[in-house]
Amino acid sequence: MPADLALITPSPSVAPQDAGPLEALLSRQRAAFRADPMPSAEERIRRLGDLHRLLLDEQQAIVAAINADFGNRSADETLLAEIMPCLHGIAYARKRLRKWMKPSRRAVGLQFQPASAQVVYQPLGVIGVIVPWNYPLFLALGPAIGALSAGNRVMIKMSESTPATSRLLKTLLAKIYPEDLVAVVEGDVEVGIAFSRLAFDHLLFTGATGIGRQVMRAAAENLVPVTLELGGKSPVIISAEAPMAQAAERIAWGKTLNAGQTCIAPDYVLVPRARLQEFVAAYREAVQRFFPTLENNPDYTTIINPRQLARLNDYLSDAQAHGATLLPLFPQSQGARLAHTLLLDVNDEMRVMQDEIFGPLLPVIPYGTLDEALEYVNARPRPLALYFFGYDKAEQRRVLAQTHSGGVCLNDTLLHVAQDDVPFGGVGPSGMGHYHGHEGFLTFSKAKAVFSKPRFNAARMIYPPYGKAIQKLVYRLFIR
């Protein structure tokens, strides 16, 4: 994911100016947590229910705020990709929360009897969440839902690129939560730096790999554990036998959602060499069917700001200068409504093949055999998502066994992120740690081992002095 200006760390000589108010806010949340360190299931369910009702009541205001930040954000995309998954995540957690909170009984070895063991899931304390600009609601509230389910307090740092959404979310959450439970932090570069250096009990960052390294470095100063949801170049592999029209349509949906400004958007497509033109034709037809025109089309989300638009246009110019063939799918762009473009004849010298694209540009790369396609993917950093199109079970197993990625969709794109019962997270350069659903509850909890002995203590038999017959018997029974 392209870097957020609010999180670019300056040289160590530059001291953040906004640490004081943030430290004070963190202290208030810590004090509130100490006063209520283990909220009941009923209280957590109530807190989540308040958020569910708020989102239902304020969905039009949310749509309008995100639209204002983007210039044009499809209202349907905000409903489908931000509000709906938040509502479903809340409902999923509320239904299962009592089961998640129940201590887990564990086995105790014969040599330690009589005794019992269990794992107790304890809230960590105060959770920090650093939010990117591309899905400002979902990527703020998704982690917050997990943190609240686990009984924590939450501080949310919004992106400086989404000021309207940040202001609205701060106002709305203040209606249902005191600031010592959930707080929204706005601000620019210095605020983002100061936030990343706070001594949270856990910090979740969503954003660019390079900025993730800086956030992790800052968190390390206070030994703050981190979950990093990064990005990278998520590949698509189309098999030799895949129904091309179906594959192209599903890839086009995943790439055009939010104008490609999605951390798990298809970043490039590997197509059998003999089917390259078939894919180009099918993909063009699908995109143009979704969006018959760009001009004044409310369904076509714009690039969020001039800086990101300039970056994408630079990718196109650089690719063309290095020999790429550009295939715009519309006659011309309409300002920030950047025309969806296929890129053929690409190579690794091009920036579009080095950086996460994060926009409506899609390189298409021909391959000869599936082994060749897998080697191409595996020679590059491990991505956040991988997409395979093909119904041959043996090929599916090969792809799953021979590649690493944060998540996989077989014969679709994006939708694994919407499944509440599976974890979401990257691997290597695309991230570390997981959240969503039960994994979110576990990430924001301390799984505390508890070993309990009754009054009778059989272990006294192995206490010093050593050399007793009973000790020798224990060694014969248990050291073998």
| Domain final residue, candidates 378, 393, 425 | 425
Residue 239's domain is classified under what CATH number? 3.40.309.10
Give residue-wise pLDDT tens across range 345-374.
999 999 999 999 999 999 999 999 999 999
The whole-number pLDDT of residue 331 equals 85
Give residue-wise pLDDT tens across range 305-320.
999 999 999 999 999 9
Do residues 459 and 111 make contact, with C-beta atoms less than 8 angstroms apart?
no
Structural domain contains residue 332: yes
One domain for residues 170 and 246:
no
Do residues 306 and 338 make contact, with C-beta atoms less than 8 angstroms apart?
no
Structural domain contains residue 469: no
CA 342 distance to own-chain centroid? 26
One domain for residues 280 and 406:
yes
Structural domain contains residue 323: yes
407 forms beta bridges with: 385
Structural domain contains residue 480: no
Structural domain contains residue 345: yes
Structural domain contains residue 472: no
The whole-number pLDDT of residue 3 equals 54
One domain for residues 328 and 289:
yes
Mean per-residue pLDDT of the chain: 94
Question: Given pLDDT bands bounded at 50, 70 and 90, which one contains residue 19?
Answer: confident
Distance between CA atoms of 128 and 329, rounded to whole angstroms? 41
The whole-number pLDDT of residue 106 equals 97
One domain for residues 305 and 412:
yes
The whole-number pLDDT of residue 14 equals 40
Structural domain contains residue 459: no
Give residue-wise pLDDT tens across range 168-191.
999 999 999 999 999 999 998 789
Distance between CA atoms of 462 and 155, rounded to whole angstroms? 50
SS3 426: coil
Cα–Cα distances (Å) from 217 to 1, 12, 16, 50, 206, in that order, read 18, 12, 16, 36, 15
The whole-number pLDDT of residue 1 equals 67
One domain for residues 324 and 182:
no
The whole-number pLDDT of residue 349 equals 96
pLDDT for residue 15 is more than 60: no
Q: Pick from 294, 334, 292, 333: which is nearest to 316 by CA?
A: 333
Residue 154's domain is classified under what CATH number? 3.40.605.10
- Known catalytic residues are 229, 263
Question: Given pLDDT bands bounded at 50, 70 and 90, which one contains residue 214?
Answer: very high
One domain for residues 170 and 22:
yes
Task: State the number of CA atoms in the 13 A half-sphere of 149 facing the CB.
Answer: 30
One domain for residues 255 and 341:
yes
Query: Residue 367 corresponds to which amino acid?
Result: Y
Structural domain contains residue 477: no
One domain for residues 296 and 421:
yes
One domain for residues 348 and 399:
yes
The whole-number pLDDT of residue 219 equals 96
Between the two ends of the chain, the Cα-to-Cα distance in Å is: 53
**DSSP codes of every residue in 296-349:** T-TTSPPPSSHHHHHHHHHHHHHHHHTTPEEEESSSS-BTTBPPPEEEES--TT
One domain for residues 212 and 244:
no
The whole-number pLDDT of residue 334 equals 77
Distance between CA atoms of 61 and 436, rounded to whole angstroms? 25
Number of domain units in the chain? 2
Average pLDDT over residues 84-98: 98
- Domain that includes residue 98, residue range: 5-230+430-447
Give residue-wise pLDDT tens across range 246-270.
999 999 999 999 999 999 999 999 9
227 forms beta bridges with: 204
One domain for residues 201 and 242:
no
pLDDT for residue 116 is more than 90: yes
One domain for residues 393 and 439:
no
Distance between CA atoms of 148 and 2, rounded to whole angstroms? 28
